Amino acid sequence: MARKKSWSELSGGKKFLVLVFSLAQIALTVAGYRDLAKRSDDEIEGSKLAWGVAMLANWVGPLAYFAKGRKGLGLND
């Protein structure tokens, strides 16, 4: 198994990709929380608390919220 590299051992291109994906993940999570806060309980599939906790799961939580958590707006129409 390969040893994990430290930040200083990464090339400039790999550092850039790490930053881009990190910022995208943060933006997706923030967008999910903002959307969740603006919606009423009637517009959410399940509880707001459960979706709030689920969105802490890196990419999976916010993507699941946008796909399944919003009534009339997700993929479950």
Contacts of 47 (CB under 8 A, 6+ apart): 41
Domain count, the chain: 1
Query: Is there a domain that residue 77 lies in?
Result: no
Query: Is there a domain that residue 4 lies in?
Result: no
Q: CA-to-CA distance for 20 and 13, rounded, in angstroms?
A: 11
Query: Is there a domain that residue 19 lies in?
Result: yes
pLDDT in tens, 11-50: 999 999 999 999 999 999 999 999 999 999 999 999 999 9
Structural domain for 51, as ranges: 13-69
- Length of the chain (residues): 77
Query: Is there a domain that residue 53 lies in?
Result: yes
pTM score: 0.79
Query: Is there a domain that residue 39 lies in?
Result: yes
Query: Is there a domain that residue 45 lies in?
Result: yes
Query: Is there a domain that residue 56 lies in?
Result: yes
Query: Is there a domain that residue 75 lies in?
Result: no
